[in-house]
């Protein structure tokens, strides 16, 4: 019987997971390639034989997604699996059309085929778009569960940008762990807040192995989602964060709509900065497609350390990178804080951008007023540092989830913007979690 020859389209995350849990040990399939997009410098690598298993003694090559039509023909591919997130539905169907036009099947793999079952209860926190507020929601969930006396371990959606073999199973409990694994800025943004809570968070490549390690030290597992992907684990409680600053996206982006439709709890976040009509549009969509979900209203209030130095000053604002790039936001919490604190001018970083930072502006022109904190490699981190230090600002407003001063040297005063989830009214997350896991 002829093997089904497969290409998996991805971005160094969901693609590897789908391979590991579905394809790795099934001889009826042969995964002949991965393609890569969204994340810089991941194509041209190989998914290593140590992770690919006995059926793949040479590993699996990773090609740029732009090579897909040629690869389908040259490698005699029967099926192409789409395995990345935070893209419009229309974008997905354009990719499907490319695949179909070249003769192959187009496949979206669902939860039943890709979720791993835990021996411990699992709470998942996901979103309809990246930048909706998953991280602060996850932190709130962890704090509540720990106050209930539960041993909580979080597991973060993958961010494997380095040596995949070394990153197969990663456990982060200290800042030294971040240095040991050579974490990028993007990774630090997700892991540091958990460390600041005194909590443990796992990540990596092989998510069944990661789960089995986490289960050894946890009463409850918290899945900390990435982008707007759905969970890798079967969840006992699914919390999904919606963003009224991008109202309507909950029904027009893949796979965020999957999350929105399958949530047990929908948190409508950012109600302190969104208009009433947008909030109500998200609420009405929730009632329409998921009437059984509990809706929690919430805000993301901003806290700034030493914020008085911003008033009357020229500032440059540095924001979370993915929120601005494939999240398509033109600004974030840093920009809001700078305006609120009375900055005299917010300087556009565009004329001062160098290297890959300059290329980022060419691709994502909506970010022109703020600086996305791109840091996927040592070179890019240095280019970010050079860009910040060349801008003639009085103060740097850091709106990223971590303090950038830990990883780069900034030659001017800086303030740090923090934001936390604040529920409005009842029910709140404590009510939901106590009802589900109390006792």
Structural contact between residues 62 and 34, judged by C-beta atoms closer than 8 angstroms: yes
Q: What is the pLDDT of residues 254-281, one digit of tens each?
A: 999 999 999 999 999 999 989 999 999 9
- Pair type for strands 60-64 and 29-36: parallel
pLDDT value, residue 232: 98
Q: In this predicted model, what pLDDT tens digit does every residue of 234-255 receive, in sequence order? A: 999 999 999 999 999 999 999 9
Encode pLDDT of 108-123 as tens digits.
Answer: 999 999 999 999 999 9
Residue 433's pLDDT is 97
Say how far apart CA 305 and CA 290 lie, in whole Å. Answer: 40
Assess whether pLDDT exceeds 60 at residue 349.
yes
Amino acid 319: pLDDT: 87
Q: Is the pLDDT of residue 49 over 80?
A: yes
């Amino acid at each position: 019987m002829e093997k089904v020859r497969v290409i998996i389209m991805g971005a160094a995350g969901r693609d590897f997971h789908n391979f590991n849990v579905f394809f790795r040990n099934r001889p009826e399939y042969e995964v002949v390639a991965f393609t890569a997009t969204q994340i810089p410098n991941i194509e041209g690598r190989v998914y290593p034989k140590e992770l690919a298993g006995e059926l793949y003694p040479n590993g699996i090559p990773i090609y740029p997604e732009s090579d897909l039509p040629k690869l389908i023909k040259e490698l005699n591919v029967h099926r192409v699996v789409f395995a990345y997130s935070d893209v419009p539905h229309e974008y997905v169907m354009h990719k499907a059309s490319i695949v179909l036009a070249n003769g192959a099947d187009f496949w979206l793999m669902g939860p039943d085929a890709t979720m791993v079952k835990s021996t411990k209860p699992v709470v998942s926190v996901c979103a309809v778009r990246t930048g909706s507020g998953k991280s602060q929601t996850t932190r709130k969930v962890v704090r509540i569960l720990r106050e209930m006396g539960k041993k909580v371990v979080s597991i973060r959606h993958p961010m494997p940008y380095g040596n995949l073999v070394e990153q197969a199973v990663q456990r982060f409990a200290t800042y030294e762990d971040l240095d040991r694994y050579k974490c990028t800025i993007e990774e630090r943004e997700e892991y540091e807040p958990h460390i600041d809570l005194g909590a443990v968070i796992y990540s990596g490549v092989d998510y069944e192995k990661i789960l089995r390690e986490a289960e050894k030290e946890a009463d409850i597992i918290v899945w900390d989602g990435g982008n707007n992907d759905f969970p890798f684990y079967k969840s006992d409680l699914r919390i999904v964060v919606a963003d009224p600053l991008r109202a309507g996206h909950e029904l027009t982006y893949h796979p965020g709509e999957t999350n929105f439709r399958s949530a047990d709890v929908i948190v409508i976040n950012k109600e302190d900065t969104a208009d009433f009509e947008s909030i109500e549009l998200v609420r009405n969509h929730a009632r329409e497609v998921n009437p059984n979900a509990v809706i929690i209203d919430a805000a993301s209030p901003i806290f700034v350390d030493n914020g008085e130095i911003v008033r009357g000053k020229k500032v440059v604002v540095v924001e979370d990178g993915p929120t601005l790039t494939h999240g398509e936001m033109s600004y974030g919490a840093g920009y809001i804080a700078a305006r609120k604190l009375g900055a005299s001018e917010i300087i556009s970083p565009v004329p001062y951008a160098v290297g890959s930072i300059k290329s980022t502006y060419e691709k994502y022109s909506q970010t022109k007023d703020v600086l996305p904190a791109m840091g996927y490699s040592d070179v890019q981190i240095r280019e970010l540092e050079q860009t910040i230090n060349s801008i003639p600002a009085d103060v740097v407003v850091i709106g990223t989830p971590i303090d950038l001063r830990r990883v780069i040297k900034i030659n001017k005063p800086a303030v740090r913007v923090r934001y936390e989830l604040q529920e409005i009214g009842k029910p709140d997350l404590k009510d939901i979690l106590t009802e589900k896991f109390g006792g």
